[in-house]
A and B are shown apart, each in its own frame.
Chain A
Amino acid sequence: MIKHMLKAAEEAGKNSLTYFRTDDIQTKLKVDHQDIVTVADVESQRIIVDILTKALIEDGVPEEEIGFIGEEQLVKKGKHTFIIDPIDGTSNFATGLDYYCVSIGYAVDEVLTAGVVYHPISRTFFYAEKGKGAYKRVDGDDMKLTVTDAPLSEKFLGTYLFEDDDLVKAVMTLQSSARGMRSLGAGALDICHVADNLFGVALYLYMRLWDIAAAAVIVTEAGGVMYDWEGNELVFDFEDVNKKYYYIASHASYKEEVMKALTQVKSV
């Protein structure tokens, strides 16, 4: 399955690059100026769906068993469900900033089993299959990813800042232990950077299933953990696709410090 997902992510990424920094992206507001969509999001999602559907049918999977949950108004139930964010970091993409990615998660009977995150501009893949480890692929070379427990002071806190008192307080409390804070605008890539040890902790709120499904497999296969703001294991809801997730991705050794900071925030 992973080879199909890698191929789909790569082709979607190629498509997005044909629009990148051009006047053809046709930015539209979804909700407001901080929640936008472009023609590349919609096209890339369609490319992913077409590639995966064709590949699975060729592998003998009945079409009615192939499901999709995609950011761009896509819900189709199936035993084999792909969770798609065709462009994670659309605001960056639409503004000409290359920190964006394609994210494809794969679940069988609503259990996540594989994930691919692709950064088109650097042609870098992050991918994982449950039980088989997580990898970063650059120029065809695969490197195994292992989250280390180096001191948090040697890694960054990754987040996406916006106007939310709890988030700002939590970030500012936690970042004092880290090398610094980075807000770069693509949550799936940020989680992969936990797997790659650039970030020690990724802390987010209001994320959707398609923002995290693929990267969740990658970071856990790299030895990291994901938990919610209460410290509980993340439980993904495939029925309520609009459910919002508050999550942290990190090495398990940072969890106590993270939870202590979040407790302080909540008690203020």
Chain B
Amino acid sequence: MLDIMIEAALEGGKVLKTYFRKNLHIRSKTSHQNIVTEADDASQKVIKEYITSQLLAKGYKPDDIGFIGEEGLMQPGTYTFIIDPLDGTSNFASGSEEVEVLIALVKDGEVIAGVAYCPMLEILYYAEKGKGAYRKRNGEVIKLAVLPKKLEEGMMVTYMNNAYYTEFGANLFKPLPYVRGVLVGTCSYAGLVDNVATVELYGSTSIWDIAAWQSIVREAGGVMCDWKGNEIVYQFSNPEQKYNTLVCHPDNKTLLLEILNS
């Protein structure tokens, strides 16, 4: 199943490349800070079609195959693929290469595999439950392991826009004095598994933003929890549900929760 997810992500990335730095039709979802383009739609379409055709060819029944996708995709199934066909649409629309295709696989209510592909940078992250997490870059595959660094030895990665600031205010910046610096707007959770970030903190994320990375982070030895330290519990029937996530090495979790909740 992981092979199919990887190929699907590569197919999605291939589509994105054809739209990159071209004239895009940009639509506002809720504001100029929450946009979608035809590249998002085209990538999701090709990912869904690829996964469906591959699984049908392997003998799975249509009812087995489910999807939850950012661009209005909701189809129940025994195996549910959670898709963000273009994570970082604002970056993409502005010509920044910091974008990714995300695909997670859920079975029996549990995320069991995840793929994150950064098509412009040609970096692929993937993981399968119990089999470790890996990164492929420049043809080289390495096993990922989140190192037990002190907070001050790495960066904090977060995201901030008008809606988040209204909701969370300065809370998102609480760990800032403890880290080497802060990054906003890079490829989501890659920072932790690359050992660039010692903490990643996001508010109001959706299931398609985090499910794939949850698998990769966990298999690399990191933790992803909510801002109270609890495990993320997905509401698969409600794709609009929002999640606040904290990602770090397990050794830093207690301190970060103290900082966050101070």
A and B co-occur in one complex: yes
Q: Residues of A with Cβ closer than 8 Å to B?
A: 33-34, 36, 91-92, 94-97, 153-156, 160-163, 168, 172, 175-176, 178-185, 197-198
B49 located at the interface, meaning its Cβ lies under 8 Å from any Cβ of chain A in the complex: no
CA distance A156 to B96 in the complex (A): 10
Q: Would A179 and B32 be within 8 Å (CB), given that A97-B196, A162-B176, A198-B96 are in contact?
A: yes
Chain A residues, Cβ within 8 Å of B184: 161, 181-184
Binding-face segment, B71-79, B159-167, B233-241: B159-167
Contact residue among B33, B170, B180 (Cβ-Cβ distance under 8 Å from A179): B33
CA distance A218 to B258 in the complex (A): 44
Q: Would A154 and B94 be within 8 Å (CB), given that A36-B180, A91-B155 are in contact?
A: yes
Contact residue among B173, B177, B181 (Cβ-Cβ distance under 8 Å from A168): B173
A-B contact list, 25 entries, CB within 8 Å: A33-B153, A33-B180, A95-B155, A95-B180, A95-B181, A96-B195, A96-B196, A97-B186, A154-B32, A155-B94, A156-B90, A160-B181, A160-B182, A162-B181, A168-B170, A175-B161, A175-B162, A175-B165, A179-B90, A181-B185, A183-B182, A183-B185, A184-B186, A185-B181, A197-B95
B124 located at the interface, meaning its Cβ lies under 8 Å from any Cβ of chain A in the complex: no
Contact residue among A97, A155, A163, A176 (Cβ-Cβ distance under 8 Å from B176): A163
Closest chain B residue, CB of each to CB of A158: B185
Closest chain B residue, CB of each to CB of A33: B152
Chain A residues, Cβ within 8 Å of B162: 175-176
B154 located at the interface, meaning its Cβ lies under 8 Å from any Cβ of chain A in the complex: yes
Closest chain A residue, CB of each to CB of B186: A184
Let me know if A97 and B94 touch, CB within 8 A.
Answer: no
Closest chain B residue, CB of each to CB of A171: B160
Closest chain B residue, CB of each to CB of A151: B32
Give the 4 A-B residue pairs with the shortest CB-CB distance, closest first.
Answer: A182-B185, A33-B152, A183-B184, A153-B32
B110 located at the interface, meaning its Cβ lies under 8 Å from any Cβ of chain A in the complex: no
Chain B residues, Cβ within 8 Å of A91: 155, 180-181
Contact residue among A162, A176, A180 (Cβ-Cβ distance under 8 Å from B182): A162
Chain A residues, Cβ within 8 Å of B182: 160-162, 183
CA distance A185 to B182 in the complex (A): 8
- Give, as a whole number of angstroms, the nearest-CB distance from A140 to chain B: 19
Given contacts A95-B180, A96-B195, 9 further A-B contacts (CB under 8 A): A34-B181, A95-B153, A95-B155, A97-B155, A162-B182, A163-B176, A172-B160, A180-B185, A181-B185
CA distance A185 to B177 in the complex (A): 15
- Give, as a whole number of angstroms, the nearest-CB distance from B254 to chain A: 20
Let me know if B161 and A180 touch, CB within 8 A.
Answer: yes
Contact residue among B173, B181, B185, B195 (Cβ-Cβ distance under 8 Å from A156): B185
CA distance A175 to B164 in the complex (A): 12
- Give, as a whole number of angstroms, the nearest-CB distance from B158 to chain A: 9
CA distance A162 to B176 in the complex (A): 7
Let me know if B180 and A180 touch, CB within 8 A.
Answer: no
CA distance A92 to B182 in the complex (A): 10
Chain A residues, Cβ within 8 Å of B195: 96
B38 located at the interface, meaning its Cβ lies under 8 Å from any Cβ of chain A in the complex: no
CA distance A96 to B94 in the complex (A): 25
Chain A residues, Cβ within 8 Å of B33: 176, 178-180
Chain B residues, Cβ within 8 Å of A94: 180
Chain B residues, Cβ within 8 Å of A198: 94-96
Chain A residues, Cβ within 8 Å of B185: 156, 180-184
Q: Would A185 and B173 be within 8 Å (CB), given that A95-B196, A97-B155 are in contact?
A: no
B112 located at the interface, meaning its Cβ lies under 8 Å from any Cβ of chain A in the complex: no
- Give, as a whole number of angstroms, the nearest-CB distance from B146 to chain A: 13
CA distance A154 to B91 in the complex (A): 10
B194 located at the interface, meaning its Cβ lies under 8 Å from any Cβ of chain A in the complex: yes
CA distance A95 to B152 in the complex (A): 10
- Give, as a whole number of angstroms, the nearest-CB distance from A202 to chain B: 13
Looking at A34, A95, A162, A183, the one whose CB has the most chain B CB atoms below 10 A away is A95
CA distance A122 to B6 in the complex (A): 26
- Give, as a whole number of angstroms, the nearest-CB distance from B19 to chain A: 16
Chain A residues, Cβ within 8 Å of B35: 179
Chain A residues, Cβ within 8 Å of B93: 154, 179
Let me know if B196 and A179 touch, CB within 8 A.
Answer: no
B4 located at the interface, meaning its Cβ lies under 8 Å from any Cβ of chain A in the complex: no
B183 located at the interface, meaning its Cβ lies under 8 Å from any Cβ of chain A in the complex: yes
- Give, as a whole number of angstroms, the nearest-CB distance from A175 to chain B: 7
Chain A residues, Cβ within 8 Å of B194: 96
Chain B residues, Cβ within 8 Å of A180: 33, 90, 160-161, 185
